[in-house]
Amino acid sequence: QVQLVESGGGSVQAGGSLRLSCAASGYNYRRTNRMAWFRQAPGKEREAVAAINPDDGSSDYSDSVKGRFTISQDNAKNTVYLQMNSLKPEDTAMYYCAARVQYGGRWWNENDYNYWGRGTQVTVSS
């Protein structure tokens, strides 16, 4: 079955770094036209963080993480990464990986994504 498995979360102090990974399996990864990271903090709605086009490597970022986070990929491993630098307490959230296989839609719209991981927790202390 389809699986998106996130890893790499943890607890860090403000200013620190973490690298998240998301490994996809169970479907034809070549059908993927966007891989994305979303996050959800307690009491808040889920928000888009970054997305990448597996075909050409083009990426998008939310304003809140632009310049601090970098999304990348290894298509040979069906894996997407999120390098998070200069972490802030407000980055604390559950981070989810998502895959979109149909064309169209908006990179930041969670409703346009077909497959989801279970998430990995990131906690940033001040």
pLDDT at 13: 98
pLDDT at 67: 98
115 phi, psi to nearest 5 deg: -125, 145
Counting beta carbons within 10 angstroms of the beta carbon of residue 68, is it exposed (0 to 12), middle (13 to 18) or buried (19 or more)?
middle
DSSP SS3 for 48: strand
pLDDT at 85: 98
pLDDT at 103: 85
Render each residue's pLDDT in the chain as its tens digit; 126 residues: 999 999 999 999 999 999 999 999 999 999 999 999 999 999 999 999 999 999 999 999 999 999 999 999 999 999 999 999 999 999 999 999 999 998 888 999 999 999 999 999 999 999
pLDDT at 86: 98
Ordered alpha helix ranges (H), the chain: none
